[in-house]
Amino acid sequence: MEDSSNMTSIGEIEDECVYMPPAFLTFKMAFVGIVGLFVALISIFHNLLLFYTFNTSKMLRKRNLTYLMWISGCDVFISICYIAIMCVQVYTDYFESFQLYVLWHDYLRVAFTVSHITLSASSFLLMAATIERYLQSTADNRTLKLFHLLATHRGSVVILCFVASIIFRGTVFFEIRVITNPICTGFSSLGLAVTPMFGELPDIVWRFAVRKIVTVFLPFAVLAYFNAAIVMNVRRTDRDQTVKALVLFITVGTSPLGNYQRGEVTRLRSRLRAVTRMLVMVVTGYLFANILDVIIACWEAISMESLLASPAFYTVMSDISSFLPIAATALRLPIYTINDRQIRVEVRRKFCNLVNKCGCNLCGDSSSQHKKLYDAQQMETERLWPKNPQDPKLEIRQYGLQSLIMARASLSSKDVYDIHRFRETYEL
């Protein structure tokens, strides 16, 4: 009987100490270890360059791109944590490196916490930027007052986003615990466990109800709604401005001041549309990148057992949902440079300055493109507004007194108001 019991205990220990590598290890190595690493490195380079450009460019700092700058900073940490968590884990299993396995467990809690905080902060900052752009695209006095309030407190909004992220995601550090199994050696001697912070039932409410709703479902729903609303507002504004331009063309002739007013408003609105289009593309990328994570989060809340019953499927879906946000962060720089000429010129200039400081003169004169952009803007301003404008007289066409009154009202009051509103308030 003693021999039989000893054999049973030895068999249980051996079963407990058997290390099972993850499913689809070859796929994970190709997808996460190679493609994921390459995209994450591109994302780190792109967002470091963006953060440096937004922070040091005098031209871009005047445009109040505060949210975009801090989003780029968050994206850098998100990509670094992806490499530290996902890629290193795959390398550990694929190359069977126990030293790398121990190192991974040593920094996992910190990297996992930083990843969660920066992901949530990036979502909250994108929400703030989208809501502000929505208020900016809505022609309403009440929304304009709210826009003024948010625009004058962008720094406070950024701090609030980070504080909220720490509150809702910072507790991850205390929920993960590295455990050791003294009866085993090698890979089976280390593992991870989830420890409840507030008790079993309150912890479930906190992690799956409060945290998931605030940091996953709420940003997704808010960004989807306001993104669609911004597109509708921009289309409606373009249609209204087209009708107004036709009325002015029919009823009012040319005048230097009128040309300046209409040209200046058109130029500022063109920049507003470019910034809006840029933000819409970023938000759309965020929605596509996080839709799978939202689906998995819903699935986990409804039936976690069915997901655990298919570990291979769960693993692959988790890998893809973790990779998509990294791909979205890597696309920030192309989106910004395609839609905004100033950002494109400033990013190129800053990059060339950094390259030239390293002793590689690959870009030539990095200030020439910047000077061309400045000269083009000066020429456009001088063309639209002469240095000594006289009091112009409108050339009235014979279309009746009612058309004249409507055109003069649109031109003399609304356009001047638009110029000051776009120039002094929006600061694009």
Element (H, E) at 178: strand 176-180
The region that residue 237 occupies, defined by phi over 0 for left and psi between -120 and 50 for alpha, beta otherwise, is alpha
Is 301 domain-assigned?
yes
- Which tokens is 71 given? 């989003």
Task: Give the per-residue pLDDT at 316.
Answer: 86
Is 317 domain-assigned?
yes
Element (H, E) at 356: helix 341-357
Task: Give the per-residue pLDDT at 391.
Answer: 43
- Which tokens is 227 given? 């993104």
Is 21 domain-assigned?
yes
pTM for the model: 0.78
Is 3 domain-assigned?
no
Question: Is the four-CA dihedral 332, 337, 343, 349 of positive or negative sign?
Answer: positive
Distance separating alpha carbons of residues 283 and 277, to the nearest angstrom: 10
Contact in structure between 331 and 285 (CB atoms under 8 Å):
yes
Indicate the burial class of 142 (C-beta count within 10 angstroms; 0-12, 13-18, 19 or more): exposed
Q: List, for residues 173-217, the tens digit of each pLDDT value.
A: 988 888 888 888 888 888 888 887 777 777 777 877 788 889 888
Task: Give the per-residue pLDDT at 265.
Answer: 52
Distance separating alpha carbons of residues 67 and 155, to the nearest angstrom: 9
Domain hosting residue 98, numbered range: 10-426
Q: List, for residues 333-358, the tens digit of each pLDDT value.
A: 999 999 888 899 999 999 998 888 87
Is 4 domain-assigned?
no
Count of other CB atoms within 10 angstroms of residue 262: 23
Which segments in the chain show pLDDT lower than 70?
1-16, 139, 237-272, 361-428
351 Cβ contact partners less than 8 Å away, ≥ 6 residues apart: 49, 363
Task: Give the per-residue pLDDT at 145.
Answer: 81
CATH number for the domain spanning 384: value is: 1.20.1070.10
The DSSP secondary structure of 58-104, one letter per residue, reads HHHHTTT-HHHHHHHHHHHHHHHHHIIIIIHHHHHHHHT-HHHHHHH
HSE at residue 197, side-chain half, CA atoms within 13 A, is: 12
| Count of domains observed in the chain | 1
Is 5 domain-assigned?
no
Task: Give the per-residue pLDDT at 420.
Answer: 47
Task: Give the per-residue pLDDT at 271.
Answer: 62
Is 42 domain-assigned?
yes
Is 1 domain-assigned?
no
Of 60, 65, 73, 132, the residue nearest 341 (C-alpha): 60
